[in-house]
Amino acid sequence: MSSQAFTGGHKASHQELPPEFQDQEESIKITGFWMFIVTDVLIFASLFATYAVFVNRIASGPTPAQVFQLNTALIETLILLTSSFTIGIAIWAMRQNRQRMVTWWLVLTVLLGMAFVSIELTEFAGDVAAGWGWHTSAFLSAFFLLVAAHGTHVTMGIIWAVALLFQLRRRGLTTVTRRKLYTFSLYWHFLDIMWVFIFTVVYLGGRLI
């Protein structure tokens, strides 16, 4: 299959589609994964709404401006934006049938994800050590709930990506592994979008309210 095969534009017939869409069952799973993302959008919307309601309820605890370090948040953002780019390149390489390239860009994505989670955990540990735990105020409860929900998603994504690396090594780029890589990329980019909102609302917003 040549990489030129998919350039058919929007009138492409099924035969010209990438393998993960050519196969009807796999393409249904991709649609199903979009439905999962739809539900996850609603979960994060609820957490953002909770945060918006409680952000000024600081009780005797610290204000947002006291808690948040913009440097750390910027580094986390840059890491996640870069990992979104690397998985984007992995999917591009997958469409070109370049398995080695897919593997290395996926490895890079996993490493960036791990760096992100480590920095976030360090940040949380520092907050708790300073006496700013989730029980300190409604603001901190909402903050930890929102940001840790995102961090948990990223951690799950890392486990998923490592499993995919093993499958890729064993089975190569099959229709099924292509679909799994594709849905993983959707998940990862979705988490990047949620982080951009966390960076804007929580970290930048903390300086503006």
Partner 1 sequence: MHGGDEQHETAIEPGFDFISPRFEEPKFPMHQVWGYAASLVLTFAALWMTVNRIMSPSVLLGVVLAMAVGQAALQLGVFMHVRESRGPAWHLVPLGLAFAIGIGLVGMSAWIMLFKSGVS
Q: How many CB atoms lie within 10 A of CB 170?
A: 8
Of 13 and 60, which CB lies nearer to partner 1 in the complex structure?
13
Check binding of 141 to partner 1 (CB under 8 A). no
Q: How many CB atoms lie within 10 A of CB 14?
A: 10
Check binding of 130 to partner 1 (CB under 8 A). no
Residue 5 burial (C-beta neighbours within 10 Å; 0-12, 13-18, 19+): middle
Check binding of 111 to partner 1 (CB under 8 A). no
User: Total binding residues for partner 1 by CB under 8 A?
Assistant: 68
Closest distance between partner 1 and the C-beta of residue 185, in Å?
A: 7
Q: Are 154 and 113 in contact (CB under 8 A)?
A: yes
Q: Give the torsion sign (CA, 54, 60, 63, 67).
A: negative
> CA 102 to CA 90: how far, in whole Å?
5
Phi-psi region of 97 (alpha: psi -120 to 50; beta: other; left: phi over 0): left
Among 63, 72, 75, 95, binds partner 1 (CB under 8 A): 95
Check binding of 125 to partner 1 (CB under 8 A). no
Check binding of 27 to partner 1 (CB under 8 A). yes
Of 97 and 167, which CB lies nearer to partner 1 in the complex structure?
97
Residue type, 151: G
Check binding of 101 to partner 1 (CB under 8 A). no
Q: Which residues bind partner 1 (CB under 8 A)?
A: 3, 6-15, 17-18, 21-25, 27, 30-31, 34-35, 37-39, 41-42, 44-46, 48-50, 52-53, 56, 70, 74, 77-78, 81-82, 84-85, 87-89, 91-92, 95-96, 185-186, 189-190, 192-193, 196-197, 199-201, 204-205, 207-209
